[in-house]
Structure 1
Amino acid sequence: MGAGPAAPCREATKRPESGAGGWRAERLVPKGFPKLKNDTFLRAARGEETEHTPVWCMRQAGRYLPEFRETRAAQDFFATCRSPKLCCELTLQPLRRFPLDAAIIFSDILVVPQALGMEVVMVPGKGPTFTEPLKEVEDLLKLRQKVDVTAELGYVFQAITLTRHSLEGRVPLIGFSGAPWTLMSYMIEGGGSTTMAKAKSWLYCHPEASHRLLRLLADVIIDYLVGQVAAGAQALQLFESHAGHLGPEQFQDFALPYIRDIAQAVKSKLKEEALPLVPMIIFAKDAHYALHDLARAGYEVVGLDWTIRPQEARAQTGKDVTLQGNLDPCALYAPKEKIGELVKKMLEGFGTQRYIANLGHGLYPDMNPEHVGAFVEAVHSHSRHINKHS
């Protein structure tokens, strides 16, 4: 299924670099990258015409692939995140199976709290867990107030550079970060939560301290995203995964200003450092009430979850941004023929231009890889057919 195997994660021009936790590795020089052969995703992100609708999947490198489980079997999750070679391998695995139009670097949004000095462990059956979450306002003093992202997160940059070389120009590489509110909620809750009651209580009881934390996170995220582009990322996605826990007023106060600021500051720094101005994607899950504002927040692409109709999303966002999404991930449990029907309906709803096909959230671990392939191939075939007859 799809094209031939992507290149292995090989060595190239090197220079030594050290980082946090005693990490030491050979860093590939982020230049001399192979010429990009498939720029469909980037053209769609910038609003340019495409022959087919590009497609990729959130969590496309993941546990639904047996080769992923085999690669990860003997390794702690965050140890895997700190291994550029393993991150490269996991990033490339789905591209060996499916004709995807983009790769997204394998990493985790919680590497940013780790860079601030917090300990996060992956507990089997529970998920990411903070050993000492933030409980009192005074706990903010325990965080690093100034973060050298190259020292603390250099392993992500090396993984991006290694992967960009190993892709051999097959498709663009996406870098990413969690957004400030989503990261703050994890840091206070200590892990996942159905209510985010502890984190939201900070917004009501400690608004000034909340803004201090959100500002600190935003500053680290800005440097982190710029560093990813310097390392070779060709697009960036900001995940505000917990936006749905906020109402419109709290989103306006505690999420949107930082989302806007990150886009503006990243683009400004990219210009200052003579780095490519890459397209940026904002994905704020369940933030239907904020789509109008998100479309004007400085991002080329607005990602959508599966709980909004394409026509409604387009009406709220206007014609000047590209939309991304939004098939219900659970649709991939359906028979392949049904997946094709759902994809066709989705493409007819969004239109094939100024649009990037994706799921409305990430792939689940128990999904059949063949059904993922059916989704990807249906996007390509139906979008080409619609373009041909339009």
Structure 2
Amino acid sequence: MEGNSPLRPQDFPALKNDTFLRAARGEETEYTPVWCMRQAGRYLPEFRETRAAQDFFATCRSPKMCCELTLQPLRRFPLDAAIIFSDILVVPQALGMEDLLKLRQKVDVSEELGYVFQAITLTRHSLEGKVPLIGFSGAPWTLMSYMIEGGGSNTMAKAKRWLYRHPEASHRLLQLLRDVIVEYLVGQVAAGAQALQLFESHAGHLGPEQFREFALPHIRDIAKHVKNKLQAEALPLVPMIVFAKDAHYALEELAQAGYEVIGLDWTIQPQAARERTGHRVTLQGNLDPCALYAPKEKIGELVKRMLEGFGTQRYIANLGHGLYPDMSPEHVGAFVEAVHMHSRHLRTPA
């Protein structure tokens, strides 16, 4: 069967660049590591060529294709981490997303999402230890909102209507999603993922009260249960990142939610984020993606200012959201190189 790699999730090549993992754990680094959300994407001509005439989710289900797409940006840019090519909607699909009333209450994650695990194992071997591999999932509220809306939405009004009118049913759906996500993330580590990111991409559609009722408890539970299961199954305790877009009202709570790294969007000042998280966690982010439309020298200036704001330690450089399809690969390269150059220059001995 295509993509069924004979490679096993063991005997992986030795890791040559662990800067990203050290920063995620709060250890000292020689420079600030950098990667980009959606770094494997349509802004790359080779991505468009690889994906030509291929159904998107057919691509997601092909370990061989996912591996190739994950590796493409690493061939172009000196990134410090790879993130497996997949999509957050594979979890709702595993639950039978087409009908909310007939969702599977029991999901065999290995059976339904085994293709992601195969992709991770194949990619981990194919990386040859160049950089660590990040696995990920959408968070329960974000997945629930897609499931109810049937796609994207500017307001998430249908999904929020559920929260207001059917709070008990909402909690049941969120708990079902949480349990599957925990199994899914643990499975990714068993397959070879060296870090995990939880995407609460639609946090900004919730106010502080709804976030604290319907999103934050599940974000906390996922960190706790994943770590407990990793320990119970004698798997590596990998760093975990939570990225709750536009949830600046909950920074303090997120810093105490059990994650080693807090991802930040571009609406937060670096110094304020440091102060509000109490220097307890590593921060990741948060250049406005649209800054990559600027001339290359301007990108360098913005990166330098960002590094000065966050400091070069306990920090992972990234954008405040994913790369857009019409961005120039050359400008992405300028961003990555500017992080490496300026962080080495600004770094002072600890």
Equivalent runs, 1:269-308 vs 2, <5 Å: 269-308=229-268
Q: TM-score, normalised by structure 1?
A: 0.88
Q: Find the aligned partners of 2:91 and 2:348 in 1 and give their Cα distance.
A: 45
Q: Find the aligned partners of 1:244 and 1:166 in 2 and give their Cα distance.
A: 37
Indicate the SS of the match to 2:47.
helix
Matched, 1:361 2:340: no
Matched, 1:219 2:198: no
1:264 equivalent in structure 2: 224
Structure 1 position 181, deviation (Å): 0.1
Q: Find the aligned partners of 1:279 and 1:41 in 2 and give their Cα distance.
A: 10
- Aligned partners of 2:197 and 2:242 also within 8 Å: yes
Residue among 26, 34, 39 paired with 1:47: 26
Matched, 1:204 2:164: yes
Q: Find the aligned partners of 2:311 and 2:330 in 1 and give their Cα distance.
A: 25
- Aligned partners of 1:344 and 1:378 also within 8 Å: yes
What does the per-residue CA deviation read over 1:198-238, in whole Å, with 9 as the maximum and x for residues that have no partner?
00000000000000000000000000000000000000000
- Aligned partners of 1:174 and 1:237 also within 8 Å: yes
Q: Find the aligned partners of 1:332 and 1:263 in 2 and give their Cα distance.
A: 32
1:12 equivalent in structure 2: none
Structure 1 position 25, deviation (Å): 2.6
Indicate the SS of the match to 2:113.
helix
Residue among 112, 115, 119 paired with 2:91: 112
Equivalent runs, 1:367-386 vs 2, <5 Å: 367-386=327-346
- Aligned partners of 2:5 and 2:122 also within 8 Å: no
Equivalent runs, 1:1-390 vs 2, <5 Å: 25-119=4-98, 134=100, 139=101, 142-387=102-347
Structure 1 position 336, deviation (Å): 0.1
1:8 equivalent in structure 2: none
Q: Unaligned 5+ residue runs, structure 2?
A: none
Q: Find the aligned partners of 2:3 and 2:276 in 1 and give their Cα distance.
A: 48
Q: Unaligned 5+ residue runs, structure 1?
A: 1-15, 17-22, 120-131
What does the per-residue CA deviation read over 1:67-124, in whole Å, with 9 as the maximum and x for residues that have no partner?
00000002100000000000000000000000000000000000000000124xxxxx
Q: TM-score, normalised by structure 2?
A: 0.98
Indicate the SS of the match to 2:224.
helix
Q: Find the aligned partners of 1:24 and 1:86 in 2 and give their Cα distance.
A: 8
- Find runs of 4+ consecutive structure 1 residues off by over 2 angstroms: 23-28
- Aligned partners of 2:3 and 2:62 also within 8 Å: no
RMSD: 1.2
The residue type paired with residue 90 of structure 2 is: V
Q: Find the aligned partners of 2:56 and 2:45 in 1 and give their Cα distance.
A: 16
What does the per-residue CA deviation read over 1:353-387, in whole Å, with 9 as the maximum and x for residues that have no partner?
00000000000000000000000000000000011
Q: Find the aligned partners of 2:123 and 2:33 in 1 and give their Cα distance.
A: 20
The residue type paired with residue 272 of structure 2 is: E
